[in-house]
Amino acid sequence: MPAFPDAARAALADTQLRHNLAHATRTIRDKRAGVVAEVPEWEELRLAGAAVKDRALHDLEAQLLRLEETLVAHGATVHWARDAAEANAVVVDVARAHGVDEVVKVKSMATQEIGLNEALAEAGVAAWETDLAELIVQLGDDLPSHILVPAIHRNRAEIREIFLRRMAQVGRPAPTDLTDEPAVLAEAAREHLREKFLRATMAVSGANFAVAETGTLVVLESEGNGRMCLTLPEVLVSVVGIEKVVPTWAELDPLLRLLPRSSTGERMNPYTSTWSGVSSGDGPQEVHVVLLDNGRTRALADAVGRQALRCIRCSACLNVCPVYERVGGHAYGSVYPGPIGAILNPLLRGTGDPQTDSLPFASSLCGACFEACPVRIDIPEVLVHLRSRVVDGHRGDRVPKPEALAMRAASYVFGDHRRLAAVERTSGLAGRVLRKLGRKTLPGGRPAVEHLPGPAAAWTGARDLATPPEESFRTWWDRTDGGRR
Protein backbone atom coordinates (compact mmCIF):
# COMPACT_ATOMS: atom_id res chain seq x y z
CA MET A 1 0.00 0.00 0.00
CA PRO A 2 1.23 3.52 -0.75
CA ALA A 3 1.77 5.97 2.10
CA PHE A 4 -1.29 7.96 3.20
CA PRO A 5 -0.55 11.23 1.30
CA ASP A 6 -0.15 9.33 -1.99
CA ALA A 7 -3.18 7.15 -1.43
CA ALA A 8 -5.26 10.16 -0.42
CA ARG A 9 -4.48 12.08 -3.60
CA ALA A 10 -6.74 9.95 -5.81
CA ALA A 11 -9.56 10.08 -3.27
CA LEU A 12 -9.34 13.87 -3.03
CA ALA A 13 -9.68 14.16 -6.80
CA ASP A 14 -12.83 11.98 -6.83
CA THR A 15 -15.71 14.42 -6.39
CA GLN A 16 -18.37 11.69 -6.42
CA LEU A 17 -16.59 9.91 -3.57
CA ARG A 18 -16.29 13.12 -1.58
CA HIS A 19 -19.96 13.86 -2.12
CA ASN A 20 -20.98 10.33 -1.00
CA LEU A 21 -18.78 10.56 2.10
CA ALA A 22 -19.84 14.05 3.11
CA HIS A 23 -23.51 13.14 2.80
CA ALA A 24 -23.20 9.86 4.72
CA THR A 25 -20.98 11.10 7.54
CA ARG A 26 -23.12 14.21 8.05
CA THR A 27 -26.27 12.09 8.30
CA ILE A 28 -24.79 9.66 10.85
CA ARG A 29 -23.15 12.50 12.79
CA ASP A 30 -26.40 14.41 13.17
CA LYS A 31 -28.29 11.28 14.19
CA ARG A 32 -25.68 10.39 16.79
CA ALA A 33 -25.61 13.91 18.25
CA GLY A 34 -29.40 13.79 18.67
CA VAL A 35 -29.53 10.50 20.60
CA VAL A 36 -26.45 11.24 22.70
CA ALA A 37 -28.04 14.52 23.81
CA GLU A 38 -30.97 12.48 25.18
CA VAL A 39 -28.74 10.90 27.85
CA PRO A 40 -27.94 13.40 30.62
CA GLU A 41 -25.40 11.05 32.22
CA TRP A 42 -23.52 10.47 28.94
CA GLU A 43 -20.18 11.59 30.39
CA GLU A 44 -20.57 9.22 33.35
CA LEU A 45 -21.40 6.43 30.91
CA ARG A 46 -18.25 7.19 28.91
CA LEU A 47 -16.18 7.02 32.10
CA ALA A 48 -17.84 3.74 33.08
CA GLY A 49 -17.24 2.24 29.63
CA ALA A 50 -13.59 3.25 29.68
CA ALA A 51 -13.18 1.84 33.20
CA VAL A 52 -14.63 -1.54 32.20
CA LYS A 53 -12.30 -1.88 29.26
CA ASP A 54 -9.31 -0.68 31.30
CA ARG A 55 -10.07 -3.22 34.01
CA ALA A 56 -10.11 -6.02 31.44
CA LEU A 57 -6.89 -4.83 29.80
CA HIS A 58 -5.11 -4.36 33.13
CA ASP A 59 -5.80 -7.97 34.00
CA LEU A 60 -5.87 -9.37 30.49
CA GLU A 61 -4.13 -12.68 30.98
CA ALA A 62 -6.33 -13.68 33.91
CA GLN A 63 -9.49 -12.55 32.13
CA LEU A 64 -8.61 -14.54 29.00
CA LEU A 65 -7.83 -17.69 30.98
CA ARG A 66 -11.15 -17.32 32.72
CA LEU A 67 -12.89 -16.85 29.38
CA GLU A 68 -11.23 -19.99 28.05
CA GLU A 69 -12.30 -21.94 31.10
CA THR A 70 -15.95 -20.89 30.90
CA LEU A 71 -16.13 -21.39 27.13
CA VAL A 72 -14.70 -24.90 27.41
CA ALA A 73 -17.09 -25.66 30.26
CA HIS A 74 -19.93 -24.80 27.86
CA GLY A 75 -18.66 -27.15 25.16
CA ALA A 76 -16.69 -24.73 22.95
CA THR A 77 -13.17 -25.42 21.69
CA VAL A 78 -10.75 -22.55 22.31
CA HIS A 79 -7.74 -21.88 20.07
CA TRP A 80 -5.02 -19.29 20.69
CA ALA A 81 -3.59 -17.54 17.64
CA ARG A 82 -0.45 -15.41 17.85
CA ASP A 83 -0.86 -14.00 14.35
CA ALA A 84 -2.93 -14.03 11.17
CA ALA A 85 -1.34 -17.23 9.84
CA GLU A 86 -2.18 -19.21 12.98
CA ALA A 87 -5.75 -17.90 13.10
CA ASN A 88 -6.37 -18.62 9.42
CA ALA A 89 -4.94 -22.11 9.80
CA VAL A 90 -7.43 -22.91 12.57
CA VAL A 91 -10.43 -21.84 10.46
CA VAL A 92 -9.15 -23.64 7.35
CA ASP A 93 -8.57 -26.83 9.39
CA VAL A 94 -12.11 -26.74 10.77
CA ALA A 95 -13.52 -26.22 7.26
CA ARG A 96 -11.44 -29.11 5.91
CA ALA A 97 -12.43 -31.38 8.78
CA HIS A 98 -16.07 -30.89 7.80
CA GLY A 99 -15.45 -31.05 4.06
CA VAL A 100 -17.20 -27.71 3.42
CA ASP A 101 -16.52 -25.63 0.33
CA GLU A 102 -18.36 -22.49 1.46
CA VAL A 103 -18.96 -20.61 4.71
CA VAL A 104 -21.19 -17.69 5.63
CA LYS A 105 -19.62 -14.85 7.60
CA VAL A 106 -20.85 -12.09 9.82
CA LYS A 107 -19.50 -9.19 11.78
CA SER A 108 -15.87 -9.81 11.80
CA MET A 109 -13.37 -7.07 11.26
CA ALA A 110 -10.84 -9.39 12.86
CA THR A 111 -11.22 -11.83 9.96
CA GLN A 112 -10.71 -8.99 7.50
CA GLU A 113 -7.64 -7.92 9.47
CA ILE A 114 -6.09 -11.39 9.06
CA GLY A 115 -7.18 -11.90 5.43
CA LEU A 116 -9.31 -14.94 6.23
CA ASN A 117 -11.35 -14.83 3.00
CA GLU A 118 -8.17 -15.06 0.93
CA ALA A 119 -6.80 -17.90 3.09
CA LEU A 120 -10.08 -19.81 2.74
CA ALA A 121 -10.14 -19.18 -1.02
CA GLU A 122 -6.64 -20.68 -1.27
CA ALA A 123 -7.96 -23.75 0.51
CA GLY A 124 -10.86 -23.97 -1.95
CA VAL A 125 -13.49 -22.61 0.44
CA ALA A 126 -15.67 -19.67 -0.63
CA ALA A 127 -16.52 -17.20 2.17
CA TRP A 128 -19.73 -15.16 1.76
CA GLU A 129 -20.19 -11.90 3.62
CA THR A 130 -23.75 -11.56 4.89
CA ASP A 131 -23.77 -8.05 6.29
CA LEU A 132 -25.41 -5.97 3.54
CA ALA A 133 -22.64 -3.37 3.32
CA GLU A 134 -19.95 -6.05 3.41
CA LEU A 135 -21.79 -7.98 0.69
CA ILE A 136 -21.72 -4.85 -1.49
CA VAL A 137 -17.98 -4.51 -0.91
CA GLN A 138 -17.38 -8.19 -1.66
CA LEU A 139 -19.48 -8.26 -4.83
CA GLY A 140 -17.81 -5.05 -6.02
CA ASP A 141 -14.32 -6.60 -5.55
CA ASP A 142 -13.76 -3.60 -3.37
CA LEU A 143 -12.24 -2.84 0.02
CA PRO A 144 -14.20 -1.69 3.09
CA SER A 145 -13.84 2.03 3.72
CA HIS A 146 -15.68 2.48 7.01
CA ILE A 147 -15.90 0.41 10.20
CA LEU A 148 -19.68 0.40 10.38
CA VAL A 149 -20.72 1.15 6.82
CA PRO A 150 -17.99 -0.53 4.76
CA ALA A 151 -19.68 0.56 1.50
CA ILE A 152 -20.10 4.20 2.58
CA HIS A 153 -18.21 5.31 -0.54
CA ARG A 154 -20.88 3.79 -2.82
CA ASN A 155 -24.16 5.43 -3.72
CA ARG A 156 -27.45 3.71 -4.60
CA ALA A 157 -26.88 3.72 -8.35
CA GLU A 158 -23.47 2.10 -7.95
CA ILE A 159 -24.90 -0.58 -5.65
CA ARG A 160 -27.64 -1.42 -8.17
CA GLU A 161 -25.04 -1.79 -10.90
CA ILE A 162 -22.90 -4.09 -8.71
CA PHE A 163 -25.89 -6.30 -7.83
CA LEU A 164 -26.96 -6.62 -11.48
CA ARG A 165 -23.44 -7.40 -12.65
CA ARG A 166 -22.22 -9.76 -9.93
CA MET A 167 -25.00 -11.54 -8.07
CA ALA A 168 -25.73 -13.99 -10.89
CA GLN A 169 -22.06 -15.04 -11.00
CA VAL A 170 -22.02 -16.15 -7.36
CA GLY A 171 -25.56 -17.28 -6.61
CA ARG A 172 -29.13 -16.09 -6.99
CA PRO A 173 -29.25 -13.27 -9.60
CA ALA A 174 -30.69 -9.85 -8.84
CA PRO A 175 -34.14 -9.29 -10.38
CA THR A 176 -33.88 -7.77 -13.86
CA ASP A 177 -36.23 -4.91 -12.90
CA LEU A 178 -34.00 -3.94 -9.93
CA THR A 179 -34.23 -0.24 -9.07
CA ASP A 180 -31.96 1.80 -6.83
CA GLU A 181 -34.61 2.19 -4.11
CA PRO A 182 -32.99 1.16 -0.78
CA ALA A 183 -35.87 -1.22 0.06
CA VAL A 184 -35.65 -2.91 -3.36
CA LEU A 185 -31.87 -3.29 -3.08
CA ALA A 186 -32.20 -4.71 0.43
CA GLU A 187 -34.82 -7.21 -0.77
CA ALA A 188 -32.54 -8.38 -3.60
CA ALA A 189 -29.71 -8.89 -1.08
CA ARG A 190 -32.08 -10.75 1.27
CA GLU A 191 -33.15 -13.19 -1.45
CA HIS A 192 -29.57 -13.68 -2.58
CA LEU A 193 -28.33 -14.34 0.95
CA ARG A 194 -31.21 -16.60 2.00
CA GLU A 195 -30.00 -19.29 -0.38
CA LYS A 196 -26.57 -19.14 1.16
CA PHE A 197 -27.87 -19.28 4.76
CA LEU A 198 -29.97 -22.33 4.03
CA ARG A 199 -27.13 -24.14 2.28
CA ALA A 200 -24.14 -23.33 4.50
CA THR A 201 -23.13 -25.84 7.18
CA MET A 202 -20.39 -23.66 8.63
CA ALA A 203 -20.35 -20.01 9.72
CA VAL A 204 -17.58 -17.65 10.76
CA SER A 205 -18.28 -14.71 13.05
CA GLY A 206 -16.52 -12.12 15.11
CA ALA A 207 -17.72 -10.76 18.44
CA ASN A 208 -18.24 -7.30 19.83
CA PHE A 209 -17.61 -8.55 23.36
CA ALA A 210 -16.57 -11.77 25.11
CA VAL A 211 -17.69 -12.09 28.74
CA ALA A 212 -15.08 -13.94 30.83
CA GLU A 213 -17.41 -14.67 33.73
CA THR A 214 -19.98 -16.58 31.68
CA GLY A 215 -18.10 -17.59 28.51
CA THR A 216 -20.54 -15.58 26.43
CA LEU A 217 -19.84 -14.04 23.05
CA VAL A 218 -21.91 -11.02 22.03
CA VAL A 219 -22.70 -9.69 18.55
CA LEU A 220 -24.65 -6.48 17.89
CA GLU A 221 -26.09 -5.93 14.44
CA SER A 222 -28.91 -4.25 12.57
CA GLU A 223 -30.11 -6.64 9.89
CA GLY A 224 -30.67 -10.02 11.51
CA ASN A 225 -28.31 -11.69 9.06
CA GLY A 226 -25.90 -12.20 11.91
CA ARG A 227 -28.45 -14.19 13.83
CA MET A 228 -29.03 -16.41 10.78
CA CYS A 229 -25.30 -17.14 10.72
CA LEU A 230 -25.13 -17.77 14.43
CA THR A 231 -28.07 -20.16 14.57
CA LEU A 232 -28.53 -22.05 11.27
CA PRO A 233 -25.14 -23.68 10.46
CA GLU A 234 -23.97 -26.77 12.33
CA VAL A 235 -20.45 -25.44 12.90
CA LEU A 236 -19.56 -21.94 14.12
CA VAL A 237 -16.05 -20.49 14.34
CA SER A 238 -15.71 -17.10 16.04
CA VAL A 239 -12.49 -15.14 15.57
CA VAL A 240 -12.18 -12.74 18.49
CA GLY A 241 -9.46 -10.20 19.25
CA ILE A 242 -8.15 -10.70 22.78
CA GLU A 243 -9.05 -7.09 23.66
CA LYS A 244 -12.77 -7.90 23.33
CA VAL A 245 -12.89 -9.55 26.72
CA VAL A 246 -15.15 -8.00 29.37
CA PRO A 247 -14.81 -9.33 32.93
CA THR A 248 -18.45 -9.75 33.96
CA TRP A 249 -21.93 -9.84 32.50
CA ALA A 250 -22.91 -6.80 34.60
CA GLU A 251 -20.08 -4.78 33.07
CA LEU A 252 -21.59 -5.17 29.62
CA ASP A 253 -24.25 -2.69 30.65
CA PRO A 254 -22.47 0.62 29.93
CA LEU A 255 -20.95 -0.78 26.74
CA LEU A 256 -24.31 -1.93 25.38
CA ARG A 257 -25.68 1.53 26.08
CA LEU A 258 -22.75 3.39 24.56
CA LEU A 259 -22.29 1.41 21.37
CA PRO A 260 -25.61 1.77 19.47
CA ARG A 261 -25.95 5.51 20.13
CA SER A 262 -22.33 6.11 19.09
CA SER A 263 -22.39 3.94 15.98
CA THR A 264 -25.73 3.93 14.19
CA GLY A 265 -27.32 6.72 16.21
CA GLU A 266 -29.95 4.33 17.57
CA ARG A 267 -31.12 4.04 21.15
CA MET A 268 -30.70 0.28 20.95
CA ASN A 269 -29.47 -1.85 18.08
CA PRO A 270 -32.12 -4.13 16.54
CA TYR A 271 -30.32 -7.45 17.20
CA THR A 272 -28.12 -8.37 20.15
CA SER A 273 -27.12 -12.05 19.94
CA THR A 274 -25.35 -13.83 22.77
CA TRP A 275 -24.18 -17.43 22.87
CA SER A 276 -22.19 -19.54 25.27
CA GLY A 277 -20.65 -22.63 23.73
CA VAL A 278 -22.98 -25.39 22.58
CA SER A 279 -26.66 -25.97 23.45
CA SER A 280 -27.86 -29.45 22.69
CA GLY A 281 -30.42 -29.43 19.84
CA ASP A 282 -30.29 -25.63 19.49
CA GLY A 283 -27.98 -23.76 17.10
CA PRO A 284 -24.47 -24.87 16.07
CA GLN A 285 -23.44 -28.16 17.61
CA GLU A 286 -19.74 -27.46 17.24
CA VAL A 287 -18.38 -24.10 18.36
CA HIS A 288 -14.78 -22.93 18.04
CA VAL A 289 -13.41 -19.67 19.41
CA VAL A 290 -10.10 -18.34 18.10
CA LEU A 291 -8.54 -15.83 20.49
CA LEU A 292 -6.44 -13.60 18.29
CA ASP A 293 -3.38 -11.58 19.33
CA ASN A 294 -1.91 -10.32 16.01
CA GLY A 295 -0.14 -7.35 17.57
CA ARG A 296 -2.51 -6.67 20.45
CA THR A 297 0.04 -7.56 23.13
CA ARG A 298 2.48 -5.25 21.34
CA ALA A 299 -0.09 -2.45 21.62
CA LEU A 300 -0.72 -3.36 25.25
CA ALA A 301 2.97 -2.91 26.02
CA ASP A 302 2.78 0.72 24.89
CA ALA A 303 1.92 2.76 27.99
CA VAL A 304 0.33 5.62 26.01
CA GLY A 305 -1.05 3.64 23.08
CA ARG A 306 -2.71 0.80 25.00
CA GLN A 307 -5.86 2.89 25.45
CA ALA A 308 -6.58 2.19 21.75
CA LEU A 309 -7.45 -1.37 22.77
CA ARG A 310 -10.52 0.00 24.54
CA CYS A 311 -12.03 0.66 21.11
CA ILE A 312 -15.50 -0.83 20.65
CA ARG A 313 -15.46 -0.16 16.88
CA CYS A 314 -18.40 2.24 16.92
CA SER A 315 -16.92 4.46 14.14
CA ALA A 316 -18.00 7.73 15.82
CA CYS A 317 -14.44 9.04 15.45
CA LEU A 318 -14.55 8.46 11.68
CA ASN A 319 -17.79 10.34 11.25
CA VAL A 320 -16.50 13.49 12.94
CA CYS A 321 -13.02 13.49 11.42
CA PRO A 322 -12.45 16.24 8.82
CA VAL A 323 -9.61 14.24 7.25
CA TYR A 324 -11.65 11.02 6.94
CA GLU A 325 -14.61 12.93 5.54
CA ARG A 326 -12.49 14.15 2.64
CA VAL A 327 -10.39 11.11 1.78
CA GLY A 328 -12.52 8.14 2.87
CA GLY A 329 -11.21 4.87 4.26
CA HIS A 330 -9.15 3.34 1.47
CA ALA A 331 -6.30 5.82 1.88
CA TYR A 332 -5.55 4.35 5.34
CA GLY A 333 -4.64 1.01 3.71
CA SER A 334 -6.28 -1.07 6.40
CA VAL A 335 -9.56 -2.51 7.57
CA TYR A 336 -9.29 0.06 10.40
CA PRO A 337 -9.53 3.52 8.80
CA GLY A 338 -10.03 7.01 10.20
CA PRO A 339 -8.64 8.31 13.49
CA ILE A 340 -8.71 4.91 15.23
CA GLY A 341 -6.96 3.35 12.23
CA ALA A 342 -4.32 6.06 12.32
CA ILE A 343 -3.28 4.87 15.79
CA LEU A 344 -4.34 1.22 15.85
CA ASN A 345 -2.42 0.13 12.76
CA PRO A 346 0.97 1.46 13.93
CA LEU A 347 0.31 0.04 17.39
CA LEU A 348 -0.59 -3.42 16.09
CA ARG A 349 2.02 -3.64 13.35
CA GLY A 350 4.75 -1.47 14.85
CA THR A 351 6.32 1.56 13.22
CA GLY A 352 9.13 1.44 10.64
CA ASP A 353 7.16 0.80 7.46
CA PRO A 354 6.55 3.93 5.30
CA GLN A 355 2.81 3.25 4.97
CA THR A 356 2.25 2.65 8.70
CA ASP A 357 4.53 5.55 9.61
CA SER A 358 2.44 7.93 7.51
CA LEU A 359 -0.78 7.25 9.42
CA PRO A 360 -0.16 9.19 12.66
CA PHE A 361 0.30 12.28 10.46
CA ALA A 362 -3.10 11.81 8.77
CA SER A 363 -4.80 14.11 11.25
CA SER A 364 -5.36 17.77 11.92
CA LEU A 365 -5.27 17.06 15.70
CA CYS A 366 -8.54 18.97 16.07
CA GLY A 367 -9.63 16.65 18.89
CA ALA A 368 -13.13 15.91 17.57
CA CYS A 369 -12.39 12.16 17.70
CA PHE A 370 -11.69 12.26 21.42
CA GLU A 371 -14.88 14.22 22.07
CA ALA A 372 -16.92 11.64 20.15
CA CYS A 373 -15.28 8.47 21.46
CA PRO A 374 -17.64 6.65 23.83
CA VAL A 375 -14.75 5.04 25.71
CA ARG A 376 -12.69 8.21 25.92
CA ILE A 377 -9.68 7.14 23.87
CA ASP A 378 -7.47 10.21 23.69
CA ILE A 379 -6.64 9.70 20.02
CA PRO A 380 -4.79 13.04 19.62
CA GLU A 381 -2.51 12.13 22.54
CA VAL A 382 -1.69 8.76 20.94
CA LEU A 383 -1.19 10.39 17.52
CA VAL A 384 1.39 12.80 18.92
CA HIS A 385 3.07 9.96 20.83
CA LEU A 386 3.29 7.85 17.64
CA ARG A 387 4.53 10.82 15.60
CA SER A 388 7.42 11.24 17.99
CA ARG A 389 8.18 7.54 17.69
CA VAL A 390 8.23 7.77 13.90
CA VAL A 391 10.48 10.84 14.02
CA ASP A 392 12.82 9.13 16.52
CA GLY A 393 12.97 6.10 14.24
CA HIS A 394 14.43 8.27 11.46
CA ARG A 395 16.98 10.23 13.47
CA GLY A 396 19.83 8.01 12.28
CA ASP A 397 18.88 8.12 8.57
CA ARG A 398 21.82 8.83 6.28
CA VAL A 399 19.59 11.02 4.10
CA PRO A 400 17.48 13.14 6.46
CA LYS A 401 13.86 13.86 5.59
CA PRO A 402 12.95 17.38 4.37
CA GLU A 403 11.07 18.02 7.64
CA ALA A 404 14.19 17.13 9.65
CA LEU A 405 16.29 19.49 7.54
CA ALA A 406 13.70 22.25 7.96
CA MET A 407 13.70 21.76 11.74
CA ARG A 408 17.50 21.81 11.87
CA ALA A 409 17.53 25.04 9.88
CA ALA A 410 14.86 26.54 12.17
CA SER A 411 16.86 25.52 15.23
CA TYR A 412 19.97 27.22 13.80
CA VAL A 413 18.07 30.42 12.95
CA PHE A 414 16.19 30.68 16.24
CA GLY A 415 19.40 29.98 18.17
CA ASP A 416 20.75 33.51 17.61
CA HIS A 417 18.83 36.82 17.39
CA ARG A 418 21.15 38.19 14.70
CA ARG A 419 20.48 35.19 12.47
CA LEU A 420 16.78 35.57 13.06
CA ALA A 421 16.92 39.29 12.15
CA ALA A 422 18.80 38.46 8.93
CA VAL A 423 16.21 35.86 7.95
CA GLU A 424 13.41 38.30 8.71
CA ARG A 425 14.95 40.84 6.38
CA THR A 426 15.21 38.21 3.61
CA SER A 427 11.70 37.07 4.30
CA GLY A 428 10.44 40.66 3.98
CA LEU A 429 12.17 40.93 0.61
CA ALA A 430 10.65 37.59 -0.48
CA GLY A 431 7.26 38.89 0.69
CA ARG A 432 7.57 41.96 -1.54
CA VAL A 433 8.52 39.82 -4.58
CA LEU A 434 5.83 37.18 -3.98
CA ARG A 435 3.20 39.85 -3.41
CA LYS A 436 3.82 40.97 -6.98
CA LEU A 437 3.44 37.38 -8.24
CA GLY A 438 0.40 36.52 -6.11
CA ARG A 439 -2.91 36.65 -7.92
CA LYS A 440 -5.06 35.35 -5.12
CA THR A 441 -6.28 37.02 -1.96
CA LEU A 442 -6.98 34.97 1.16
CA PRO A 443 -9.85 35.73 3.56
CA GLY A 444 -8.64 38.73 5.56
CA GLY A 445 -7.11 40.32 2.49
CA ARG A 446 -3.63 38.74 2.58
CA PRO A 447 -2.21 37.99 -0.89
CA ALA A 448 -1.27 34.39 -1.67
CA VAL A 449 0.74 32.52 -4.27
CA GLU A 450 -0.94 29.52 -5.89
CA HIS A 451 2.07 27.92 -7.58
CA LEU A 452 5.72 27.87 -6.57
CA PRO A 453 8.41 26.50 -8.92
CA GLY A 454 10.72 23.50 -8.36
CA PRO A 455 10.52 21.28 -5.26
CA ALA A 456 8.50 23.99 -3.48
CA ALA A 457 5.63 23.12 -5.88
CA ALA A 458 4.88 20.13 -3.58
CA TRP A 459 3.71 22.64 -0.95
CA THR A 460 1.52 24.73 -3.23
CA GLY A 461 0.18 21.60 -4.99
CA ALA A 462 -2.40 21.24 -2.24
CA ARG A 463 -2.67 24.72 -0.70
CA ASP A 464 -2.14 28.41 -1.34
CA LEU A 465 0.92 30.05 0.18
CA ALA A 466 0.24 33.25 2.07
CA THR A 467 3.02 35.71 1.23
CA PRO A 468 5.32 36.58 4.15
CA PRO A 469 4.74 40.02 5.70
CA GLU A 470 6.91 42.70 4.14
CA GLU A 471 7.86 44.04 7.52
CA SER A 472 8.78 41.97 10.58
CA PHE A 473 7.60 42.79 14.09
CA ARG A 474 11.17 43.75 15.00
CA THR A 475 11.45 46.20 12.08
CA TRP A 476 8.03 47.65 12.86
CA TRP A 477 9.04 48.14 16.51
CA ASP A 478 12.26 49.91 15.55
CA ARG A 479 10.48 52.09 13.00
CA THR A 480 7.61 53.11 15.26
CA ASP A 481 9.26 52.84 18.69
CA GLY A 482 6.71 50.23 19.69
CA GLY A 483 3.80 52.15 18.15
CA ARG A 484 4.62 55.49 19.83
CA ARG A 485 5.68 57.25 16.59
Binding positions for ligand SF4, rule: CB under 6 A: 147, 262, 311-317, 340, 372-375, 377
Task: Give the residue with the Cβ less far from ligand SF4, 374 or 380.
Answer: 374
CB of 155 to ligand SF4, least distance (A): 24
The answer to whether 298 and 351 are in contact (CB under 8 A) is no
Task: Give the residue with the Cβ less far from ligand SF4, 192 or 310.
Answer: 310
Task: Measure Cα distances from 329 to 7, 190, 291, 360, 362 in Å.
Answer: 10, 26, 26, 15, 12
The answer to whether 173 and 167 are in contact (CB under 8 A) is yes
Task: Give the residue with the Cβ less far from ligand SF4, 283 or 339.
Answer: 339
Sheet holding 465-466, edge to edge: 440-441, 447-449, 465-466
Q: What residues pair up with 271 in beta bridges, in sequence order?
A: 221
CB of 438 to ligand SF4, least distance (A): 41
CB of 47 to ligand SF4, least distance (A): 14
Q: What is the DSSP letter of 29?
A: H
Which amino acid makes up residue 49?
A: G
By C-alpha distance, which of 146, 197, 182 is closest to 21? Answer: 146
Report how far residue 128's alpha carbon sits from residue 142's, in angstroms, rounded to the nearest whole number.
14
In 135-261, at which residue ranges do the beta strands (DSSP E only) sit? Answer: 202-205, 209-211, 216-221, 235-241, 245-246
Task: Give the residue with the Cβ less far from ligand SF4, 263 or 294.
Answer: 263
The answer to whether 232 and 197 are in contact (CB under 8 A) is yes
CB of 318 to ligand SF4, least distance (A): 7
Task: Give the residue with the Cβ less far from ligand SF4, 373 or 434.
Answer: 373
CB of 400 to ligand SF4, least distance (A): 33
The answer to whether 70 and 76 are in contact (CB under 8 A) is no
The answer to whether 255 and 55 are in contact (CB under 8 A) is no
Task: Give the residue with the Cβ less far from ligand SF4, 128 or 336.
Answer: 336
The answer to whether 221 and 283 are in contact (CB under 8 A) is no
CB of 189 to ligand SF4, least distance (A): 25
In 374-481, at which residue ranges do the beta strands (DSSP E only) sit? Answer: 440-441, 447-449, 465-466
CB of 314 to ligand SF4, least distance (A): 4
Task: Give the residue with the Cβ less far from ligand SF4, 95 or 259.
Answer: 259
